[in-house]
Amino acid sequence: MSLNIPLVPRAARRNLDLRRLPLTALGVLFLAVMLFPVYWMVNSSLQSSSGATTRDWFPLDATFSGYEKAITEQGPNFVTSLLIALGTVVLTLIIATPAAYGLSRIRSRGASAFVLVLLITQMIPAMVIANALYPLFNSLFLINNVFGLILANTAAGIPFAVLLIRAFMGSIPRALVEAAMVDGAGHLRAFVSIVVPISKNAIVTAALFTFLSAWSDFLFALTLTSTPEVRPITLGIYDYISANTQDWDTVMATAVLASVPAALLLIFAQRYIAAGAVAGAVK
């Protein structure tokens, strides 16, 4: 059996391509503008130290001395940031996932008011939260403590994670969970075996945004730490930058290394992010 698919004449396709050409050129221009800071960061990291205003457009005499110094001096800070970001993701998901499921199933004014409070917390500046946490953390001996930074970033990340995961879980048919419970599954088993696997896209998306937020945190780290023993990579870069710095290849090499985990996560999780973000937006 043959399919009668209408073919577009070659001349019509050529005209269509010509009409799309300005939009394609405009898209390439926007992409180049957005990627130029990344290129300049990598380009500067491969040139020897001679000041921020003497960079060449291309690293013709590329050197990796900046990366060697960055790895040597910023390696512990890199590990500290990794511990903080991963700990924040784990703690946030442990709290936010069941909370989101509960809020998606409860139909009451109290649940709606709670969601409204979560939305309001998203509008509070991080500096206000950091200053409010300082006396509490000081009394709990959590200043200059990795676990203290994990708690601070978790407190800031839970509202967004709950809202994102709740939006997806609200679309799961109740009959699906009820069928599992009729077969003998309890609430916990139905949640772990049915709800969590179905909500994988939303959970991965929430985990990624939580990781990026904790990885790039600066205000909590600046407010809640004061010793070099507990210093994330963002404060390490901040320490490099001063009015008289000439070591820009090391600064830029540190910035490139700090961008690698986030870039890798975005590459590996992009299909989950697209599905999870769209599900939350539609809801």
Residue 47 lies in a domain: no
The CA R_g of the chain, rounded to the nearest whole Å, is 24
Q: Which of 220, 250, 219, 224 minimizes the C-alpha distance to 237?
A: 250
Residue 3 lies in a domain: no
Residue 97 lies in a domain: yes
Amino acid at 26: L
In the numeric block, which tokens belong to residue 20?
């799309």
For position 73, what pLDDT does the model report? Answer: 85
pLDDT bucket at 41, cuts 50 / 70 / 90: confident
pLDDT tops 70 at residue 188 = yes
Residue 174 lies in a domain: yes
Residue 49 lies in a domain: no
For position 51, what pLDDT does the model report? Answer: 63
Domains contained in the chain, number:
1
Query: CA 24, CA 233: separation in Å to the nearest integer?
Result: 38
Which letter does DSSP use for residue 50 in this model?
Answer: S
Residue 33 lies in a domain: no
Domain that includes residue 269, residue range = 79-281
Query: Could you read off the pLDDT of 204-247 as tens digits, one per residue?
Result: 989 999 999 999 888 899 888 888 888 888 888 888 776 556 67
Q: Helix 65-105 vs helix 200-215: angle between axes, to the nearest 10 degrees?
A: 140
Which letter does DSSP use for residue 5 in this model?
Answer: P
Residue 271 lies in a domain: yes
Q: Are 189 and 263 in contact (CB under 8 A)?
A: no
In the numeric block, which tokens belong to residue 112?
């709606």
For position 275, what pLDDT does the model report? Answer: 65
In the numeric block, which tokens belong to residue 85?
């970001």
pLDDT bucket at 187, cuts 50 / 70 / 90: confident
For position 239, what pLDDT does the model report? Answer: 81
Query: CA 7, CA 77: separation in Å to the nearest integer?
Result: 60
Per-residue pLDDT, averaged over 21-35, amounts to 89
Q: Are 64 and 46 in contact (CB under 8 A)?
A: yes
Query: Could you read off the pLDDT of 105-115 as tens digits, one per residue?
Result: 877 777 788 88
Residue 157 lies in a domain: yes
Determine what percent of the chain is predicted with pLDDT higher than 90.
20
Q: What is the CATH number of the domain that holds 241?
A: 1.10.3720.10
Q: What integer best gives the mean pLDDT of the chain?
A: 83
Half-sphere exposure of residue 6, counting CA atoms within 13 Å on the CB side? 2
